[in-house]
Structure 1
Amino acid sequence: MTEQSLLNFTDELLESNWLYCAICKDILKPPIMLVETIGNVCTTCLEETEVTNLKSMNNSALENVLSLLKLPCKFKLKGCMERCSYGKLSFHQNNCKFRTKICPMQKVSGCEWEGSSLDFADHFKQCHGDHVINFENDLFFLQTSLTERNVVKLLVMKQHTYMLRMQNNLEKNKIFYVICSLTDDYNSFCEYAVKHKGASDNYIKTKSKILSSYFIYDDIDESIAVEIDINALKQIAQVSDTITNIFKIKLEDSLTETMDEKILHFFECPVCKNFMKPPIYQCHSGHSLCNLCRPRLEKCPTCRSTFGNTRNYSLEGLTVGVMYPCIYHDSGCAEIGSASDILKHESECSYKPYSCPFPSCNSSGNHDIIVNHLINFHFDSVIYNGASGFTDSFRLDQNNIYNKVFDRKCVIAYNHIFKLTCKRVAEHCLMAAEVVGSQNTSKTFVYEVSVIDMRRPEKKLIRTDYCLNEMPEEELFKKCIMFPNSVLSSYSHHGMVTFNFTIREK
């Protein structure tokens, strides 16, 4: 029988209804059961309906006939001309671009939209805009709660759009997720990696490949989804149940590792997972780690041997020819450079994370976000463009503020954020200035405090010191400017001490 004759024969069988289930009226799927008084029934209908009590037998002869046929897609009337063997027909129909799709937000918000996959992206952007995430240098940032049952997000890049689906299985204590292409001609070579970060410095990293659009519209297939243990996420989340997920998608043309990327693997610090730059230290057994982690550890995290002051000069020598990514590349920075150049860049990187300097506030973000936050929410305590300084005063005889911080202010100047903290003790007034987010900063700043006698403004008591890196207050007030209360009393006017505070770059 020629191929055309076989197709004609198939169409004749379809027209006679011999190949359709007597219950669901869809094309039969093996195993086919011949049910008394009913006819041929697919196994799904047999198990889900009341005909299970009737006598039935396997119709293996019809199954053999089906195995020879190429069956049309059930969306033929909508334009699909595909024909498949019955073994592949179900997968094709589930993934058919002419299939009527159900919006995945149905389980999240009850959306009742149905339509073509070609219209899906426009529908999602128009009706679920708060679930759309735009890329930043191929990175997507998403905060999720460990208690969320279903998460659906549209990931929009310049030339590509993907769908993220996350599902919390509390019974298995696992979170499953997939990223799918929105088009049927998806590229199976597209990869992505995810860093799951909490309040601690630790993170969990997962990676997988972009899946077919088929997995957007049906329940997540846990056998092919990425899974993460919820208990492991709780450990890195610490006090909260919120996780920051950083998705990095690698398209096919960017999958090949460069020589720098291959070499950088050997420079990964075993503690903080950042890339080591000179000076690089090593334990007595030869395991290396970065200069930021070394002071915090008593023993090697790899072999538990002790540390000396031994440097790994051989590894340091290799860094001369290595181009380092910015330490904030996971936040979206695409800058690369030599070890010295990248350190200078990192001190002023616009992606560097900041926490709000005021202790009662938990806000965080990059430099611009925190500056706007300070101006909008702490405006009474913020001096903007404050390089020229500000003048303030306090009452000297307030005994109830002894051993307490009585004033905090933030000064925004030189594209940096400075925190001024004032404290009174029994015999002194203490004033300290810190550079917020000062780790790896390449600039030096000094602060000057001038106590002014308001009866004779030309009479001043001036003290100058270096702005400090952020540190605990018990350490901060050991290294700050101190004014004896007995001296301040000679500058006070009606019990008030007036001072001028300025910052300058050295």
Structure 2
Amino acid sequence: MAEQTMSSFVEEIMEMNCLSCVICKEVLRPPIMLTQNIGNVCSTCYEEKCELSQMTSLPNEPMEKILKLMKLPCKYKQKGCNETLSYEELLTHQNGCRYRTKLCALFKFTGCEWEGNRNDFATHFKECHGDHVINFENNIFFLETSLRDLHLVKLLIMNKKIYILRMQTNQEKRRLFYMICNVKDEHSSFCEYSVKHKGSSDNYIKTKSKILSSYNIYNEFDENIAVQVDLDALKQISQISDTITNIFKIKTEDSRTENLDEKILHFFECPVCKNYMKPPIYQCQSGHSICNTCRPRLEKCPTCRAIFGTTRNYSLEGLTSGVQYPCLYHDLGCPEAAVATVISRHERECQFKPYSCPFPNCTSTGNYQTMINHLIAFHSDAVIYNGATGYSESFRLDNSSCYTKIFDRKCVIAFNQIFRLSCKRHADHCLWAAEVYGSNIDMKTYVYEVTIVDMRRPEKKFIRTDYCLSDVSEEELSKRCIMFPNSILSSYSNHGMITFHFNIKEK
């Protein structure tokens, strides 16, 4: 009888919300804080609501003691759970209760009324809101967003972990706000993420924050606990467009990479480009080090303004043989790490290496596969692929309107590389050149061949070959190309038309 009376008493005070947090409406989690003019607040809400720390609050220890003496029903009782447990057991049970349900995270924006088991949460998103799902590996994903009015919700699926990203702009405050919340309500002492906001320039803005609880998925967007970035600063790095690329990198307990190598690598950071220095490493007269890429561009040390000589930091170079360098493109998703000599070779052909479109006036960028897809989709009339390694073309030799201009530019996708082929005419000669675009491989790996054919007698040919260049300026291209004088070309013309074959070959 006494047990029934206690059970009735507990149900009664539960219905009155006497044991609930005034903010999240969940059973109070210790340490419970009694906040002036607010009421009892659980530990999770007190930590996440920054403004509460500015108010007068006291630990409500008597309430904690009362809770520990009670046996409480599972919050999913109405869903079919009949468990009644001690306060400490209850919190653990509810996190894994098989009757536990979730609302659709988009119900406020789309009116979706789905409610179901948390294990079906991701399945529902995929089936009903597929355009809001981002699957990713290696703890990194990319998201392009507008700097104008923005209000988005994305489901992030990383292996077995599921998160919700909420992002929006406030044009009045000129701020971009966002937060990532854990769908599964798992509390972790280490669960954080960083974001690089990149535009069309090399500059970027980086932020870092912790992943929040699922409570923030369903409540009003709280700008006080969200990460905020200045919209005007983002506009500056986006330059012409109003679009930025957000590179999210999530760190969890099982993916934490803060190890000895990372701590040591801090001392290898170049003060100019912020990349890690690899041999040869140079230093100024005062002993400040700089990487071999930035050294040729500077006369004076950026730290102390001392003159640079040819002095190298051999002590620092000696340490590189025992340090695991992350790939230069690790922020773009590459998981590779190796000693300096090995990682440098890897970086030349890294699949995550960013490419810009090889055609003038096109600003598209992306990794190798993204760029291949872009070229085929938007420049198909000037792209050779599907096994072909070159093309044939004809032009009129006396057409003076093409002088000093590149009159023919094409791309060849072959040998897992992108080649840019260019033809240029002058008053007294014609030029042909081929570049291995966006790659730092040994240039003697590939050659290009230009064949001038007399179409009156196809067996009559003039053939020249040369090594492919790395992508260079147009001025440099004119100095290092294959050149045919017009006096020779005219002897191969057919009624003033010159026919040529332009091919790429692997040595």
Normalised TM-score (structure 2): 0.79
Corresponding letter in the other structure for 1:158: N
Aligned to 2:472: 471
Q: Does structure 2 retain, via aligned residues, the 8 Å contact 1:98–1:117?
A: no
Distance 1:17 1:287 in 2: 67
Q: Does structure 1 retain, via aligned residues, the 8 Å contact 2:420–2:434?
A: yes
Q: Does structure 1 retain, via aligned residues, the 8 Å contact 2:357–2:365?
A: yes
Aligned to 1:126: 127
Aligned to 2:486: 485
Aligned to 1:313: 314
Q: Does structure 2 retain, via aligned residues, the 8 Å contact 1:10–1:69?
A: no
Corresponding letter in the other structure for 2:367: N
Corresponding letter in the other structure for 2:287: G
After the TM superposition, which residues 63-462 of structure 1 pair with which residues of structure 2 at under 5 Å, given as runs?
70=67, 77-78=78-79, 79=81, 102-114=103-115, 117=118, 119-255=120-256, 257-384=258-385, 389-439=390-440, 444-462=445-463
Q: Does structure 1 retain, via aligned residues, the 8 Å contact 2:407–2:425?
A: yes
The 1:399–1:150 alpha-carbon spacing in structure 2 relative to 1, beyond 3 Å, is same
Distance 1:15 1:326 in 2: 55
User: What per-residue deviation string (whole Å, max 9, x for no partner) do you get for residues 383-426 of structure 1?
Assistant: 22667643322110111111221101112222211111111122
After the TM superposition, which residues 488-499 of structure 1 pair with which residues of structure 2 at under 5 Å, given as runs?
488-499=489-500
Which SS does the other structure have where 1:423 is aligned? strand
Which SS does the other structure have where 1:178 is aligned? strand
Shift of 1:32: 11
Which SS does the other structure have where 1:343 is aligned? helix
Shift of 1:138: 1.8
User: What per-residue deviation string (whole Å, max 9, x for no partner) do you get for residues 194-243 of structure 1?
Assistant: 22222121222222222211111112333332222222222222222222
Distance 2:244 2:491 in 1: 55
Which SS does the other structure have where 2:492 is aligned? coil
Distance 2:15 2:279 in 1: 79
Shift of 1:435: 0.9
Distance 2:293 2:344 in 1: 13
Q: Does structure 2 retain, via aligned residues, the 8 Å contact 1:387–1:503?
A: no
User: What per-residue deviation string (whole Å, max 9, x for no partner) do you get for residues 269-308 of structure 1?
Assistant: 2333322222223344433332233334454443444434
Q: Does structure 1 retain, via aligned residues, the 8 Å contact 2:282–2:312?
A: yes
Identity across matched positions, percent: 62
Q: Does structure 1 retain, via aligned residues, the 8 Å contact 2:234–2:244?
A: yes
Corresponding letter in the other structure for 1:496: M
Distance 2:317 2:35 in 1: 66
Corresponding letter in the other structure for 1:176: F
Shift of 1:154: 0.8
Shift of 1:339: 1.8
Normalised TM-score (structure 1): 0.79
Structure exhibiting the larger radius of gyration computed from Cα positions: 1
Distance 1:31 1:373 in 2: 57
Corresponding letter in the other structure for 1:314: S
User: What per-residue deviation string (whole Å, max 9, x for no partner) do you get for residues 423-479 of structure 1?
Assistant: 112222121211111236576322222222233444433333222111222332232
Distance 2:346 2:11 in 1: 73
Using the TM superposition, name which of 409-418 and 281-290 deviates more: 281-290
Aligned to 1:59: none
Shift of 1:193: 2.1
Distance 1:64 1:327 in 2: 52
Distance 1:121 1:249 in 2: 19
Q: How many residues align?
A: 469
Shift of 1:496: 0.9
